[in-house]
Copies of this chain bind each other. A is one copy, B any other.
């Protein structure tokens, strides 16, 4: 397959933005119908299928990779769509606004275009590799991400203290002694506890947030609203668009699980299908430290405080 030109990418980017808007409007219309006087109950069950149809109808020559078709990792070096037509399904069912469309386009295994649209919030996040990341809301022009950028704030000197920490409880709630749920909770408590607590692992983060949408967690990290997101268990359609947007904004995404030597191991970009993610927001320099150094310092402080998570996948 020949290389995609920048002109090709620009065309695909514009198409993906419009697709995200259209799919979001469909979700919003269906949600509004549930609030109206003349709703028909059976409508509730077809709306997600409709959104899936809309995005899968866009398969025009590229390989389409959409939620639910397989749990094998299917992405190779070919240009590939990686789409979640509804991230935050539980939120959507309950009409809590934190749900969105996520559209990723991956080239040579790199998330290259990312679109996240949260229609209830009128927030549209977009990025194309090399062109920056942006937030559009209903009433204004595209704003570059992160939002605060003159200058971009550094990572706090005592991170994770001072950070907003975002994490999710997940659907795996097994109560075995060493289950992922208990490993996660132990890690959350380490992050929250006072400095000096938890045998030195206390992180005293500024706040702990759980939205129920991995996709929006990444979008808010790109915005600069969340400093750290740590998660295991979600899939590439949950994160492909968000990784592109966060990286284009200047953020870092690596693995949730600490390597054997957390204080010196090189910090590599996450493998898209790994199901283990640690994201750090865009950061500016702090005295002698570059922004990247501040992000890496934060990654190492995180790895020191969190448990290894145990998620695997077929064929991996």
Q: Are A227 and B189 in contact (CB under 8 A)?
A: no
Return 25 A-B CB contacts under 8 Å, by A number. A35-B147, A35-B149, A91-B164, A91-B225, A94-B225, A94-B227, A95-B223, A96-B209, A122-B138, A169-B192, A169-B207, A173-B194, A173-B202, A173-B204, A174-B197, A175-B193, A175-B202, A181-B189, A181-B193, A182-B189, A207-B212, A208-B212, A209-B212, A210-B210, A211-B211
Label chain A's interface by main secondary structure. Answer: loop
Is there an interface contact between A95 and B173, defined as CB atoms closer than 8 Å?
no
Q: Is the CB of A174 within 8 A of B150?
A: no
Q: Is the CB of B169 within 8 A of A95?
A: no
Instruction: Report chain B residues within 8 Å CB of A147.
Output: 34-35, 95
A182 to B198, CA, bound (A): 12
Question: How many Å lie between the Cα of A182 and that of B230 in the bound state?
Answer: 21
Contact partners of A174 in chain B: CB under 8 A:
194, 197
- For the complex, is A286 an interface residue (Cβ under 8 Å from B)? no
Q: Contact check, A224 vs B94: say whether CB atoms are below 8 A apart.
A: yes
Q: Which residues of B contact A208 (CB under 8 A)?
A: 169, 210, 212
Which residues from chain B contact A287 at a C-beta distance below 8 Å?
Answer: none
CB of A194 to closest CB in B, whole Å? 5
A229 contacts the other chain (Cβ, under 8 Å)? no
- In the assembled complex, which residues on chain B have CB atoms less than 8 Å from the CB atom of A220? 96
The 5 closest A-B pairs by CB, nearest first: A175-B197, A96-B225, A169-B208, A90-B207, A210-B210
Residues on the B chain within 8 Å of A30, using CB? none
Q: Does A157 contact B (CB under 8 A)?
A: no
Q: Which residues of B contact A227 (CB under 8 A)?
A: 94
Is A131 engaged at the interface, CB distance under 8 Å to the other chain? no
Q: Is A226 an interface residue (CB 8 A)?
A: yes
- Least CB distance from A143 to B in Å reads 7
Contact between chains at B175 and A181 (CB < 8 Å): no
Q: Is A313 an interface residue (CB 8 A)?
A: no
A192→B204 CA distance, assembly (Å): 23
Residue of B nearest to A188 (CB): B185
A121 on interface, CB distance cutoff 8 Å:
yes
The answer to whether A39 has its CB under 8 Å from any CB of chain B is yes
| Chain B proximity mask over A206-248: 1 for CB below 8 Å, otherwise 0 | 1111111000000010011111000000000000000000000
